[in-house]
């Protein structure tokens, strides 16, 4: 065992020396002590703040603590006598070296209470009798640390120390390093120069700790340590995005020639020039063709979330059109299979048979409708769903076949229509006026027919949001088209009541636009038919 001597500078100018046993490596140097040695600041002498009792097992440090307690009590009774606190055992050959000590904090800030004043701590490492160089680290935290080291070791492992030693031609064999950012890690990194198996020393260390060592090793030009740190970082798991970012940023900042950082960075980047379009296509195909309902549902949610997070990244903007093209390719494919399943399920030879014969086609309808709904959500998040509205509005045949199947088999299609109206009402897609009118003309009545089932049989259906979307979509049309659609809705609502979308808000807006005519004074608009209101009342 070797010892380090810790010198504490008291406010009265007296000095105490503490010997702390630490382990020595087989190579003849030290293992860095606990960070508590660096962080500990002694409290001022105060009878109210007595040191904590030592553990039952006697140790050199606990023996010193007991001595310090007795000395503390004597000092309170008689603060003026000179210091006589160093025992014969504590007078080590290296303890009488002159260590730099910064002024006490109380001298610079006399207004502070003495109970809260931190003390400056000087720590000495190594054995002065066998070393030929002293390195003094002046930390920004107020620590003054002296290391007794060997020139040949530092010159062999550190280009920084080699340049310092050879250029300055040290006469007194003493080298000072000012403003050390991380004194504790600096000492540990110098200690690693005495170790043969650096990678073994890093095992079971945390990633943040190794990153601190890597930073100091780069400053010292400690190439073998840098390489060992990179090998550690390449093999150890990174926990969380923050730690991953810290590792990548630290590795990218390395400026040492001849050090390969590629193995570490391969974890977050690829050398294979595979287009994003091809990768996305493979992911979409796997999800769309999955036979497991739960796995497909969970992966649809994850892919939708991840694509939404990457929409605003600059790296994705250049490939956005290609990705949208890939998504629309799958939309057309799913739509073709949906129409084919409807045709087969509504053929006369199947309608006259038992439901079991139509079961495969009904499952296909449910699957393809769900796939289309998912693809629509992706396109809406990417603000690229206008073309989907065009495709859906033109499905006249699908809309006509829709009424030939039971509601329980067809309502999935109405979910797509409802999602489109919600997107139109929120401004997520902006198709032309003709497409908006065609969409309402083709799909509003099928949606009304399935409305009762959607409210009670579809857990994700939000009636208020859907009704608001339908109403807002209607109000974007010319006034005459608003009237045609709303009068048709009014007949359905008076027959079905709650089983029909409630578009009263849109109806009130259209009424005010038609009969109150707030804009006719400034714009020449055609006068509405005076019998329109009477016809509505009669109906």
So what's the pLDDT on residue 70?
43
Residue range 350-409, pLDDT digits in tens: 555 555 566 788 888 989 999 999 999 999 988 899 999 999 999 999 999 998 888 888
- Rounded CA separation 169/181 (Å): 26
Retrieve residue 446's tokens: 């099928």
Lay out the sheet containing 121-125: strands in order across: 15-22, 2-9, 121-125, 144-149, 133-139, 174-180
Q: With 60 as the cut, is the pLDDT of residue 5 above it?
A: no
Task: Give the H or E element holding residue 2.
Answer: strand 2-9
Residue 275's pLDDT is what? Answer: 55
> What is the DSSP code (8-state) at residue 14?
-
Range from 270-274, 276-280, 485-489 carrying the lowest mean pLDDT: 270-274
- Residue 241 scores a pLDDT above 70: yes
pLDDT of residue 39: 52
Residue 515 clears pLDDT 70, i.e. is over it:
yes
The larger pLDDT score, comparing residue 66 to residue 335, is at 335
pLDDT at 223 over 50: yes
Q: Taking all residues of the chain, what is their mean pLDDT, rounded to a whole number?
A: 74
Query: Which pLDDT band, with edges at 50, 70 and 90, does 272 fall under?
Result: low
Work out whether the CA dihedral 373, 374, 376, 377 comes out positive or negative.
Answer: positive
Nearest Cα neighbor of 227 from 238, 213, 244 is 213
CA distances 238 to 203, 214, 302, Å, are 14, 16, 21
91-95, 206-210, 235-239, 465-469, range with the lowest pLDDT: 91-95
The pLDDT of residue 93 = 34
The span from the CA of 262 to the CA of 14, in Å, is 54
Does 419 have pLDDT greater than 70? yes
Give the pLDDT confidence of 94-153 residue by residue, as tens digits. 333 333 333 333 333 344 343 443 435 567 787 777 888 888 888 776 667 888 888 889
For residue 254, the model assigns a pLDDT of 83
Mean pLDDT of 48-75: 43
Range in 93-97, 307-311, 433-437, 494-498 with the lowest mean pLDDT: 93-97
Task: Count other C-beta atoms under 10 Å from residue 521's C-beta.
Answer: 7
43 pLDDT more than 70: no
Q: What is the pLDDT of residue 313?
A: 55
The answer on pLDDT for 21 being more than 90 is no
* pLDDT at residue 478 tops 80: yes
pLDDT at residue 527, rounded to an integer: 52
Q: Among 122, 137, 106, 130, which residue's Cα sits nearest to residue 44?
A: 106
**Residue 370: its pLDDT value, please?**
92
**By percentage, how much of the chain surpasses pLDDT 90?**
28
Going by the DSSP 8-state scheme, the letter that residue 22 receives in this structure is E
* pLDDT confidence band for 506 (50 / 70 / 90): very high
Look at residue 442 in the predicted model and tell me its pLDDT.
94
Tell which wins on pLDDT, 25 or 371: 371
Average pLDDT over residues 498-521: 83
Q: Give the pLDDT score at 518.
A: 58
pLDDT at position 124? 79
Q: What is the per-residue pLDDT across 273-324, written as a single tens digit (0 to 9) for each? A: 555 667 888 888 899 988 888 888 899 999 988 888 776 654 455 556 778 8
For the record, the structure tokens of 161 come out as 């120390």
């Amino acid at each position: 065992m070797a010892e380090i001597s810790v010198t504490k500078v008291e406010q009265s100018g007296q000095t105490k020396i503490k010997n702390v046993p630490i382990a020595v490596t087989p190579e003849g140097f030290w293992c860095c002590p606990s960070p508590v040695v660096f962080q500990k600041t002694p409290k001022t002498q105060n009878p109210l703040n007595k040191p904590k009792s030592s553990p039952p097992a006697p140790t050199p440090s606990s023996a010193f603590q007991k001595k310090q307690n007795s000395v503390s009590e004597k000092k309170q009774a008689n603060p003026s006598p000179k210091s006589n606190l160093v025992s014969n055992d504590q007078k080590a050959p290296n303890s009488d070296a002159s260590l730099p000590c910064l002024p006490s904090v109380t001298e610079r800030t006399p207004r502070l209470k003495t109970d809260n004043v931190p003390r400056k701590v000087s720590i000495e490492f190594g054995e002065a009798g066998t070393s030929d160089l002293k390195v003094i680290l002046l930390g920004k935290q107020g620590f003054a640390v002296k290391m007794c080291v060997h020139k040949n070791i530092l010159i062999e492992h550190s280009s920084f120390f080699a340049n310092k030693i050879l250029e300055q031609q040290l006469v007194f064999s003493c080298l000072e390093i000012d403003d050390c950012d991380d004194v504790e890690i600096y000492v540990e990194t110098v200690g690693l120069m005495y170790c043969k198996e650096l990678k073994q020393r890093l095992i079971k260390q945390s990633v943040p700790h190794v990153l601190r060592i890597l930073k100091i090793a780069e400053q010292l030009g400690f190439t073998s340590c840098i390489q060992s740190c990179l090998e550690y970082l390449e093999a150890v798991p990174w926990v969380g995005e923050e730690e991953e970012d810290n590792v990548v940023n630290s590795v990218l900042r390395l400026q040492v020639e001849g050090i390969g950082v590629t193995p570490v960075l391969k974890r977050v980047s690829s050398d294979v020039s595979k287009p994003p379009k091809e990768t996305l296509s493979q992911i979409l195909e796997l999800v769309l063709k999955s036979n497991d309902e739960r796995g497909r549902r969970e992966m649809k949610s994850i892919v939708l979330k991840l694509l939404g997070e990457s929409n605003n990244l600059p790296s994705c903007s250049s490939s956005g059109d290609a990705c949208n093209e890939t998504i629309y390719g799958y939309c057309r494919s799913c739509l073709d299979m949906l129409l084919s399943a409807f045709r087969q399920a509504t053929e006369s030879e199947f309608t006259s048979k038992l439901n079991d014969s139509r079961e495969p086609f009904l499952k296909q309808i449910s699957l393809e409708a769900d796939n289309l709904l998912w693809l629509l959500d992706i396109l809406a998040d990417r603000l690229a769903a206008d073309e989907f509205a065009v495709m859906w509005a033109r499905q006249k045949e699908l809309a006509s076949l829709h009424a030939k199947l039971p509601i329980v088999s067809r309502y999935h299609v109405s979910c797509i229509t409802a999602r489109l109206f919600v997107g139109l009402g929120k401004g997520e897609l902006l198709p032309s006026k003709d497409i908006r009118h065609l969409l309402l003309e083709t799909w509003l009545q099928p949606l009304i027919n399935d409305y009762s089932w959607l409210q009670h049989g579809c857990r994700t259906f939000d009636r208020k949001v859907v009704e608001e979307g339908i109403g807002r979509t209607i109000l974007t049309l010319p006034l005459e088209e608003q009237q045609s659609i709303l009068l048709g809705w009014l007949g359905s609502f008076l027959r079905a009541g709650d089983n029909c979308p409630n578009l009263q808000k849109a109806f009130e807006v259209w009424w005010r636009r038609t009969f109150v005519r707030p804009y006719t004074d400034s714009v020449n608009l055609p006068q509405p038919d005076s019998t329109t209101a009477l016809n509505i009342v009669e109906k």
